[in-house]
């Protein structure tokens, strides 16, 4: 296991942005330590990026340069193709396919690529006898892919949950702490450079949904199925709901949940209420958290930085060192051919719901709402009515477990009562 | 990677207590799932325990029986010796040595064995070309050995911290929530069966110290050095200190800390104050938490059940599946021969301290205390004096960073002032 004569593992790094340069720096800083742990030296032989002339925060003079990542992927002096370019089609996909075809292992940070093409790439990798590792694609520096695929592999997984987009969590916790509305905090986040070029990737839940689909594939032994993820962003979350939820002991999070139910595989990335005293509720700012529930292990919580040069490079290097050590396993933890085609659950499991509405100040208004809920089969756990404002009375309701359909049914009935002002709000409460 | 013709991996399980039976049940319940993930079947061929006649919660009829675990370890039909007996000498050690000598891999939950004999066993394992895996020995179901040895292997580790004895955390959090003194809650814990036969293993910090010494070896590339762990139990923690600490925004935890300093390797398992709003401060009841700080990844927090049949069996099975998959690495993450002999730091890094004392109600009493602190080179960050009771005034002080020696010096000076009633208390505040 410690043969000093072992050949160096040679990396070709495609993409020299934050993560690529972070990886170069880590290898340069810790080459002796990495060699001791990996059992052999890890070296970079070649790199590629769009702009060779750009000033970068690392000495690249010892590495060969390729303008085209596909050429990098095919180089004879590369054992592992490290893809940290991003993009779910185009060069990243072409270069990854080229690397596998040329007999290279692949380490990638590209959640979008795997969410869209993960199954085909896994089949290609396994046909070629190669591995694709993607710790850096999910929750940054948190070693959650490893925990789920390896450490917890003896468990039947019951549920995987996660707050996996730091920008959304920053926005929601900042709204609460500063008492600012969504639009203002969104603009702050943009100024701070926290948002993707297409902000909908963040606040629309798409980026976090990509990550959830990868965790679900491993957890439940199913083919990646990003298209089946129910996506709802945070754009409609109001400061009122954040405050009222807090009053009732909850926090609002963009929460990913994947679970296998009798009705099929449920994958959701939507705003949810979680208890303020659970680690998910306590999570502040841009930090990420993944919660894994196994039948034997119970609930495991993993927390750490979800983005940034250091954390993401840490995840890349964990995968690289695994490959250097000779660890080899199927891309999603079991052979791709054995992964089931998931049946998407057509409706989410029943849950308690938080509802907020404003009622006109008339006798019997509340009774009408209660009647609608009863007709829809939704029973009330807690209700709170606030002091009247301008003849309008804000009302909060926490229901017992109900389906989304029943809640939608009740909200449809509300409209006919003539006592509801504006649009009522309903947000799922995830029981953790 | 998915050859259906691959031979089963054959386990011999020594010890049929909670963990052993939990492991048997897990394999029986999930044999198909485990085979899919491991790439080959995992089967139990033989077991051993002290009392064959005992009624156990699993069907053992398909397994060969050995009365002596050493005989089990040597069986030709065993590939992996699973040691879940416990005890740092005697049969567990003899059987583990026999297993390695007979060419078997070893999976163990035995922190005491590895804390005392880890380096010798690692040398023996590597000389025999075998692995010893011990995820179950540290923090139950939390895959922290894997995270540290593999997932975070690209990082220079700055510090490892952990609350790793659930019984101690139960006692401390129950004292706070119920307002009960240590002795009463200790007795409750005993009634609930939370304490080891020798309770000092729990409340004296020994069990948690064993775990810390294993994490330190991996984190810093040093030989296991349990004897160098500074150990202090929770028996002297009073409800007063828990309350006063809470008033000032802290919680008291039995906290393990390992870090490599300019003065050598520091390993402590002692009561510490931590901020109430850090995940360590928020940790309630018997749950465990490990915090790993790496130079690239930042702070990673792992939380989960630290004991019990399911969580511990989950950790055992993670190791078994790794072996079935062909993952092989040195016991402490790099070759045992390359592990440095640690120089133990003779003193802990400076830290802020919490001090509590009761002063007689005389003019100038507080000034005398302040003078003593000044003479000892300890400066005051915050001070709080409570209302007088019976001519005695409780005083709380939070110091700026100071060494334990300086704090001890100041406390020695207090004695000469004639204004301190009873013994003053000083507890380190760990900055997290």
Q: How many CB atoms lie within 10 A of CB A259?
A: 20
A1/chain B closest Cα distance in angstroms:
6
Residue B85 has pLDDT above 90, yes or no: yes
Whether residue A344 lies inside any domain: the answer is no
Chain A residue whose CA is closest to B143:
A151
Which of A26, A221, A296 has the CB atom closest to B311's CB atom?
A: A296
Question: Best mutation site among B36, B279, B297, B301 for testing chain A: the one with the most A CBs within 10 Å?
Answer: B297
Distance in angstroms (rounded) separating the CA atoms of residues A117 and B381: 57
Q: Cβ A37–B333 below 8 Å, yes or no?
A: yes
What is the 3-state secondary structure of chain B? Answer: CCCCCCCCEEEEEECCCHHHHHHHHHHHHCHHHHHHHHCCCEEEEEEECCCCCCCCCCCCCCCEEECCHHHHHHCCCCCEEEECCCCCCCHHHHHHHHHHHCCCEEEECCHHHHHHHHHHHHHHHHHCCCCEECHHHCCCCCCHHHHHHHHCCCCCEEEEEEECCHHHHHHHHHHHHHCCCHHHHHHHHHHCCCCCCCCHHHHCCHHHHHHHHHHHHHHHCECCCHHHCEECCCCCCCHHHHHHHHHCCEEEEEEEEEEEECCEEEEEEEEEEEECCCHHHHCCCCEEEEEEEECCCEEEEEEEECCCHHHHHHHHHHHHHHHHHCCCCCCCCCCHHHCECCCECCCCCCECEEEEEEEECCCCHHHHHHHHHHHCCCCEEEEEECCCECCEEEEEEEECCECHHHHHHHHHHHHCCCCEEEEEEEEEECCC
Same domain, A168 and A255: yes
CATH of the domain at A169: 3.30.360.10
Whether residue A85 lies inside any domain: the answer is yes
Whether residue B21 lies inside any domain: the answer is yes
Which of A30, A38, A318 has the CB atom closest to B151's CB atom?
A: A318
Which residue in A74, A93, A104, A211 is the catalytic one? A211
End-to-end CA distance of chain A: 42
Whether residue B314 lies inside any domain: the answer is no
B142 contact residues in A (CB cutoff 8 A): 300
Same domain, A63 and A206: no
Question: Which whole number is the average pLDDT over A296-319?
Answer: 97
CATH of the domain at B396: 3.30.70.260
Chain B residue whose CA is closest to A219:
B37
Report yes or no: B349 and B260 within 8 Å, Cβ to Cβ: no
Please check whether residue B306 touches A, CB under 8 A: no
Return the bridge partners of A102, or none: none
Please check whether residue B282 touches A, CB under 8 A: yes
Question: Which whole number is the average pLDDT over A234-243?
Answer: 96
**What pLDDT score does B5 carry?**
55
Q: Which residues, numbered 75 to 94 in chain A, qualify as contacts with chain B under a Cβ-Cβ cut-off of 8 Å?
A: none
Residue A34 has pLDDT above 70, yes or no: yes
Q: Cβ A153–B299 below 8 Å, yes or no?
A: no
Same domain, A125 and A203: no
**What pLDDT score does B391 carry?**
80
Same domain, A44 and A27: yes
Same domain, B82 and B151: no
Q: Cβ B298–A282 below 8 Å, yes or no?
A: no
Mean pLDDT of chain A: 95
Encode pLDDT of A260-280 as tens digits.
Answer: 999 999 999 999 999 999 999
A424/chain B closest Cα distance in angstroms:
34
Query: What is the DSSP track for A96-165?
Result: HHHHHHTT-EEEE--HHHHHHHHHHHHHHHHHTT--EE-GGGSSTT--HHHIIIIITTTSPEEEEEEE--
Q: Which long-range contacts (CB under 8 A, 24 or more apart) does B24-29 make?
A: B24/B58, B24/B60, B25/B57, B25/B58, B25/B309, B25/B313, B26/A154, B26/A296, B26/B310, B26/B313, B26/B314, B26/B317, B27/B317, B28/B58, B28/B59
Chain A residue whose CA is closest to B3:
A335
Whether residue A324 lies inside any domain: the answer is no
Worst-scoring range by mean pLDDT, A12-26, A368-382, A384-398, B39-53? A384-398
Same domain, B82 and B116: yes
Residues making up the binding site of A? 111, 196
**What pLDDT score does B1 carry?**
46
Encode pLDDT of B344-399 as tens digits.
Answer: 998 889 999 999 999 998 889 999 999 999 999 999 999 998 877 778 889 999 99
Please check whether residue A317 touches B, CB under 8 A: yes
- Pair type for strands B80-83 and B9-14: parallel
Same domain, B164 and B294: yes
Same domain, B78 and B155: no
B37 contact residues in A (CB cutoff 8 A): 153, 333-334
Please check whether residue A150 touches B, CB under 8 A: yes
Which of B39, B294, B314 has the CB atom closest to A294's CB atom?
A: B314
Higher pLDDT, B148 or A348: B148
Same domain, B178 and B208: yes
Please check whether residue B329 touches A, CB under 8 A: yes
Which of A300, A313, A314 has the CB atom closest to B304's CB atom?
A: A300
Whether residue B330 lies inside any domain: the answer is no
Question: Best mutation site among B27, B82, B122, B153 for testing chain A: the one with the most A CBs within 10 Å?
Answer: B153
Question: Which whole number is the average pLDDT over B202-223?
Answer: 98
B129 contact residues in A (CB cutoff 8 A): 1
**What pLDDT score does A2 carry?**
45
The per-residue b/e assignment along B289-301, b for 16 or more CB within 10 angstroms, e otherwise, is bbbbbbebbbbbb
Chain B residue whose CA is closest to A306:
B297
Instruction: Tell me the two tokens of residue A255.
Output: 């929460």
Mean pLDDT of chain B: 95
B335 contact residues in A (CB cutoff 8 A): 1-2, 36, 39
Residue in the block written with tokens 């849950």: A351
Which residue in B74, B93, B104, B211 is the catalytic one? B211
Which of B296, B303, B326 has the CB atom closest to A314's CB atom?
A: B296
Same domain, A173 and A283: yes
B241/chain A closest Cα distance in angstroms:
23
Report yes or no: B241 and B427 within 8 Å, Cβ to Cβ: yes
Report yes or no: B52 and B67 within 8 Å, Cβ to Cβ: yes
Residue B63 has pLDDT above 50, yes or no: yes
- Asked whether residue B54 is marked as a ligand-binding residue, the answer is no
Same domain, B30 and B45: yes
**What pLDDT score does A346 carry?**
85
**What pLDDT score does B2 carry?**
45
Q: Is A146 part of the annotated catalytic residue set?
A: no
Residue A270 Cα distances to A373, A402, A427, angstroms: 23, 17, 9
Whether residue B345 lies inside any domain: the answer is no
Higher pLDDT, A71 or B4: A71
A392 band by pLDDT with thresholds 50, 70 and 90: confident
**What pLDDT score does A225 carry?**
97
- Structural domain that includes position A94: 9-137
**What pLDDT score does B3 carry?**
54
A297/chain B closest Cα distance in angstroms:
4
Distance in angstroms (rounded) separating the CA atoms of residues A185 and A179: 10
Encode pLDDT of B234-293 as tens digits.
Answer: 999 999 999 999 999 999 999 999 999 999 999 999 999 999 999 999 999 999 999 999
Kindly report the backbone phi and psi dihedral angles of residue B180, in degrees, each rounded to the nearest multiple of 5, phi listed first: -105, 150
Q: Cβ A327–B330 below 8 Å, yes or no?
A: no
Q: Cβ A318–B154 below 8 Å, yes or no?
A: yes
> Helix H segments across A5-82?
18-29, 31-38, 69-74
Question: Which whole number is the average pLDDT over A309-333?
Answer: 98
Whether residue A28 lies inside any domain: the answer is yes
Same domain, B164 and B263: yes
Kindly report the backbone phi and psi dihedral angles of residue B217, in degrees, each rounded to the nearest multiple of 5, phi listed first: -60, -45
Number of compact structural domains in chain B: 3
Please check whether residue A228 touches B, CB under 8 A: no
Of all residues in chain B, what percent carry a pLDDT higher than 90? 93
B279 contact residues in A (CB cutoff 8 A): 279, 282, 303
Cα diameter, chain A: 86
ipTM of this complex prediction, to 2 decimal places: 0.96
**What pLDDT score does B88 carry?**
87
Q: Which residues, numbered 334 to 353 in chain B, qualify as contacts with chain A under a Cβ-Cβ cut-off of 8 Å?
A: 334-335, 337-338
CATH of the domain at B125: 3.40.50.720
**What pLDDT score does A294 carry?**
98
Worst-scoring range by mean pLDDT, A3-12, A203-212, B233-242? A3-12
Q: What angle do CA B338, B343, B345 make, to 5 degrees?
A: 140
Which of A36, A37, A327 has the CB atom closest to B327's CB atom?
A: A327
Which of B30, B308, B329 has the CB atom closest to A156's CB atom?
A: B30
């Amino acid at each position: 296991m410690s043969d000093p004569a072992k050949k160096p593992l040679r990396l070709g790094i495609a993409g020299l942005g934050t993560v690529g340069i972070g990886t170069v720096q880590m290898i340069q800083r810790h080459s002796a330590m990495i060699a001791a742990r990996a059992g052999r030296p890890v070296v970079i032989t070649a790199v590629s990026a769009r702009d060779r002339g750009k000033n970068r925060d690392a000495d690249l003079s010892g590495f060969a340069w390729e303008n085209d990542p596909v050429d990098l992927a095919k180089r004879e002096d590369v054992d592992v193709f490290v893809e940290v370019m991003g993009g779910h089609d185009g060069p990243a996909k072409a270069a990854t396919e080229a690397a596998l075809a040329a007999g290279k292992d692949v380490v990638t940070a590209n959640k979008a690529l795997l969410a869209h093409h993960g199954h085909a790439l896994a089949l290609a990798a396994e046909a070629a006898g190669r591995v694709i590792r993607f710790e850096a694609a999910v929750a940054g520096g948190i070693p959650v892919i490893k925990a789920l695929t390896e450490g917890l592999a003896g468990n039947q997984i019951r549920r995987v949950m996660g707050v996996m987009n730091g920008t959304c969590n920053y926005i929601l916790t900042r709204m609460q702490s500063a008492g600012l509305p969504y639009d203002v905090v969104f603009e702050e986040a943009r100024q701070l450079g926290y948002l993707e070029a297409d902000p909908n990737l963040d606040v629309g839940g798409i980026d976090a949904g990509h990550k959830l689909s990868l965790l679900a594939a491993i957890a439940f032994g199913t083919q990646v199925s990003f298209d089946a993820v129910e996506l709802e962003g945070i754009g409609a979350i109001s400061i009122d709901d954040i405050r009222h939820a807090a009053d009732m002991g909850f926090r609002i999070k963009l929460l990913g949940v994947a679970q296998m139910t009798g009705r099929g595989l449920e994958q959701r990335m939507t705003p949810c209420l979680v208890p303020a005293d659970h680690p998910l509720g306590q999570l502040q700012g841009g930090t990420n958290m993944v919660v894994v529930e196994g039948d034997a292990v119970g609930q495991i919580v993993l927390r750490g930085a979800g983005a940034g040069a250091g954390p993401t490079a840490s995840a890349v290097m964990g995968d690289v060192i695994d490959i250097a050590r000779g660890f080899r396993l199927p891309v999603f933890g079991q052979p791709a051919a054995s992964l089931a085609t998931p049946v998407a659950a057509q409706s989410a499991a029943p849950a308690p719901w938080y509802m907020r509405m404003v009622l006109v100040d008339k006798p019997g208004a509340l009774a009408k709402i209660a009647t609608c809920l009863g007709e829809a089969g939704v029973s009330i756990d807690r209700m709170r009515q606030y002091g009247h404002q301008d003849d309008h009375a804000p009302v909060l309701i926490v229901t017992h477990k109900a389906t989304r359909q029943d809640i939608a049914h009740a909200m449809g009935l509300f409209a006919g009562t003539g006592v509801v002002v504006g649009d009522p709000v309903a947000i799922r409460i995830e029981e953790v």
